[in-house]
C-alpha cells in the first residue's frame, strides 16, 4: 500500500467507511539564515538527515510529521526548498508566501533577534498580510532573556503578537507550541470526508438497460434496498447496501415513462444525465455492449468527464455477447478489446474502469459496485506531501524540461484537495509547464498511486 499510514488519520464511520483526513500543516517561512531548519529540527524532534546523494532529489528536510500535547500535525520548512544561485531572494520570498497561502493552517514567520529587522523581513511580511490564516511572528535566536527586548521591534511588521524563541537551545519553543496547537483547526474541520453513502449516477442513452439495471439491483437478494421518494416524482433514488457500504443510485431511467416530452429526446437525455451526475460522486455510464459505442454514449461519457467525477462503465447486455463455444478465455479477450475500443474513442477517459453486466440475468452487479467503490476510494485519495515531492523531483530529474532556453523549475508540490485529487505545483513559470509535460507528470502520479477510476487535476502556480 503506497499510502503511508502515519501521514493520514483513519477513522471508521458507523457505516464502516474509512475517512481520510489531512493532517494540519504548520509552515515555517523566513529569509535565509534566521534559523528555519534549526527550529524545524527542534519541532520534529530529530535531526532530519540531509543526504544529497543525487543533487536536488532528497528533500525530506522540507516536511515532517510531529505531535504536541497529543495533536499531530505536519511541519513544512520552506527553507528546505532548493533554490539555485541565480534565483533572486524576491523569488524565494514569493514561493514561501505562496506555499503558506496554499497549504498552511498556521504560518510561523521566523525572524532573527540578533540581526534585528531587515528589509527582506518587511517584504515577506507584506506578502503574508493577505494570508487569511494565523501568522505568528517568531523571533528566533532569543537565546537569553536580554535578547527578548530585541523582539519588540518586530511588532512593527504589523502581524500582531511576537514570540521570542531560541531554536538552537529550545528556549520559548514549548510556549510557542502551546499557542500553535491551540490555533490548529479541529480535526473534524480539515478536509473532512463526510460520506455516509456512495452516490452513483446511473446514466446512459435510452435503451442501454438503465431501468433494467436498477430493477436488477433492487431484485438482488444479497442487497438491502429501499426507495427514497425525491421532491419530484421523476427523481427517485434507490438506496442499497452491499459489502457493508451504503450506495445511493441516482436514476435517470424515468425519462421515457413520463409520457409526453417537450423538445428533443437528446436534450432531455443530456439534461437528466447532467443533473444526476452533478448529485453523484461517481457516474456509472451504462452502454450496450452488444452494439458498440455510439455518439450518444460518447456524449454522456463526456459529461461525466467534464464534471470531474469518478467514472465506471457498465458494459451491459453482456449475456448477448456469449461466444459460440462459450470459452471463458475468449470472453476475457472480448472484454479487453471492448475496453480498448472505449479508451481509444475517448482518450480523456483513460482513467475509467469497467465492469461487464447483464441486467437481464442479474449478472455482474456486485463486480460493478466493486469498481464503483474502488473509483470512489481513488476519488478521495490523498498523497502525503513527502511522497508527492519525492515523486515529482525524481520525475523532473530524470526528464528535465526547458523551452525557449528557459528551464522549468518545480520548487514544491502539494495536494490541495480530494474529490477529485488536485495538485498544485509551485514553479518558476507556469507557462513552461507544457501540456505534454503535465501529462508526463500526471502519468508518473498515476503509476505510483491507485487512482484508477478518478480524474486527477494538476495546475501550476507561479511564484510571481
Ligand atoms: P535557515 O537558513 O533559516 O534554515 O537557518 P539555519 O537553521 O540554517 O540557521 C542559520 C544559522 O543560525 C546557523 O548557524 C544556526 O546554528 C544559527 N541559529 C539557528 N537558531 C539559532 C538560535 O536560536 N540561536 C543562535 N544563537 N543561533 C541560531
Ligand atoms: P433504459 O432506457 O436505459 O432504461 O433501458 P431499459 O432498461 O428500458 O432496457 C431497454 C431494453 O433492453 C429492454 O427491452 C430490456 O429488456 C433490454 N435489456 C436491458 N438490459 C439487458 C441485458 O442485460 N441483456 C439483454 N439481453 N437485454 C437487456
Q: Is 166 marked as a binding-site residue?
A: no
Q: What is the mean pLDDT of residues 270-285?
A: 92
The model's pTM is 0.80
Residues 418 and 456: their CA atoms lie apart, in Å, by: 9
Distant-in-sequence, close-in-space partners of 151: CB < 8 Å, separation ≥ 6: 113, 139, 142, 162, 163, 164
**Most confident of the ranges 38-47, 220-229, 437-446:** 437-446
Whether the CB of 332 sits within 6 Å of ligand 2: no
Ligand nearest to the CA of 214: 2
CA of 159 to the centre of ligand 2 (A): 65
Q: What is the mean pLDDT of residues 307-329?
A: 83
CA of 160 to the centre of ligand 1 (A): 23
pLDDT-derived band at 60, boundaries 50, 70, 90 = low
Q: What's the DSSP call for residue 54?
A: S
Whether the CB of 74 sits within 6 Å of ligand 2: no
pLDDT, mean over the chain = 83
* pLDDT exceeds 60 at position 430: yes
pLDDT-derived band at 180, boundaries 50, 70, 90 = very high
Whether the CB of 319 sits within 6 Å of ligand 2: yes
* pLDDT exceeds 80 at position 195: no
Distant-in-sequence, close-in-space partners of 360: CB < 8 Å, separation ≥ 6: 209, 212, 216, 317, 319
Q: Is 78 marked as a binding-site residue?
A: yes
The burial class, CB within 10 Å (0-12 / 13-18 / 19+), for 185 is middle
Whether the CB of 211 sits within 6 Å of ligand 2: yes
The H or E element spanning position 416 is strand 410-417
* pLDDT exceeds 80 at position 176: yes
Of 202, 207, 294, best ligand 2 pocket probe by most atoms within 8 Å of the beta carbon: 207
- Supply the pLDDT for residue 59: 53
pLDDT-derived band at 263, boundaries 50, 70, 90 = low
CB atoms inside a 10 Å sphere around CB 373:
19
* pLDDT exceeds 90 at position 52: no
Amino acid at each position: 500500500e503506497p499510502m503511508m499510514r502515519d501521514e493520514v488519520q483513519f477513522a471508521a464511520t458507523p457505516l464502516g467507511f474509512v475517512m481520510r483526513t489531512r493532517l494540519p500543516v504548520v509552515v515555517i517561512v523566513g529569509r535565509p539564515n534566521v534559523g528555519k531548519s534549526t527550529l524545524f529540527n527542534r519541532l520534529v524532534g530529530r535531526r532530519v538527515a540531509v543526504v544529497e546523494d543525487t543533487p536536488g532529489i532528497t528533500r525530506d528536510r522540507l516536511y515532517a510529521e510531529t505531535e504536541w500535547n497529543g495533536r499531530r500535525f505536519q511541519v513544512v520548512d520552506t527553507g528546505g526548498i532548493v533554490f539555485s544561485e541565480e534565483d533572486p531572494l524576491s523569488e524565494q520570498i514569493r514561493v514561501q508566501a505562496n506555499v503558506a497561502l496554499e497549504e498552511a493552517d498556521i504560518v510561523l514567520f521566523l525572524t532573527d533577534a540578533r540581526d534585528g529587522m531587515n528589509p527582506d523581513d518587511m517584504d515577506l511580511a507584506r506578502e503574508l498580510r493577505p494570508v487569511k490564516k494565523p501568522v505568528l511572528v517568531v523571533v528566533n535566536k532569543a537565546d537569553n532573556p536580554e535578547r527578548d527586548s530585541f523582539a519588540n521591534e518586530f511588532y512593527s511588521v504589523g502581524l500582531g503578537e511576537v514570540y521570542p524563541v531560541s531554536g538552537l537551545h529550545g528556549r520559548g519553543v514549548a510556549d510557542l507550541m502551546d499557542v500553535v496547537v491551540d490555533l490548529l483547526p479541529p480535526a473534524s474541520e480539515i478536509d473532512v470526508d463526510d460520506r455516509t453513502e456512495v452516490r452513483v449516477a446511473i446514466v446512459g442513452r435510452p435503451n442501454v438497460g438503465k431501468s433494467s439495471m436498477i430493477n436488477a439491483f433492487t431484485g438482488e437478494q444479497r442487497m438491502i434496498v429501499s426507495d427514497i421518494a425525491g421532491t419530484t416524482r421523476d427523481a427517485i433514488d434507490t438506496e442499497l447496501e452491499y459489502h457493508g457500504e451504503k450506495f445511493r443510485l441516482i436514476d435517470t431511467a424515468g425519462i421515457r415513462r413520463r409520457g409526453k416530452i417537450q423538445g428533443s429526446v437528446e436534450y432531455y437525455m443530456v439534461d437528466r444525465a447532467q443533473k444526476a451526475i452533478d448529485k453523484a460522486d461517481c457516474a456509472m455510464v451504462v452502454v450496450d455492449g452488444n452494439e458498440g459505442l455510439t455518439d450518444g454514449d460518447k456524449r454522456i461519457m463526456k459529461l461525466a468527464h467534464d464534471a470531474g467525477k469518478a467514472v465506471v462503465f457498465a458494459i451491459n447486455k453482456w449475456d448477448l455477447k456469449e461466444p459460440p463455444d462459450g470459452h471463458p478465455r475468449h470472453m476475457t479477450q472480448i472484454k479487453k478489446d471492448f475496453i480498448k475500443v472505449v479508451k481509444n474513442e475517448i482518450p480523456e477517459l483513460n482513467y475509467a474502469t469497467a465492469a461487464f453486466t447483464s441486467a437481464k440475468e442479474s449478472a455482474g452487479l456486485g463486480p460493478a459496485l466493486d469498481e464503483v467503490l474502488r473509483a470512489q476510494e481513488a476519488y478521495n485519495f490523498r498523497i502525503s506531501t513527502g511522497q508527492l515531492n519525492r515523486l515529482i523531483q525524481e520525475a523532473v530529474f530524470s526528464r528535465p524540461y526547458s523551452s525557449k532556453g528557459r528551464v522549468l523549475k518545480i520548487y514544491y508540490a502539494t495536494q490541495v484537495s480530494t474529490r477529485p485529487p488536485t495538485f498544485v505545483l509551485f514553479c518558476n513559470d507556469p507557462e513552461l509547464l507544457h501540456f505534454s509535460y503535465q501529462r508526463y507528470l500526471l502519468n508518473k502520479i498515476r503509476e505510483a498511486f491507485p487512482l484508477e477510476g478518478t480524474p486527477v487535476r494538476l495546475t501550476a502556480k507561479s511564484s510571481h
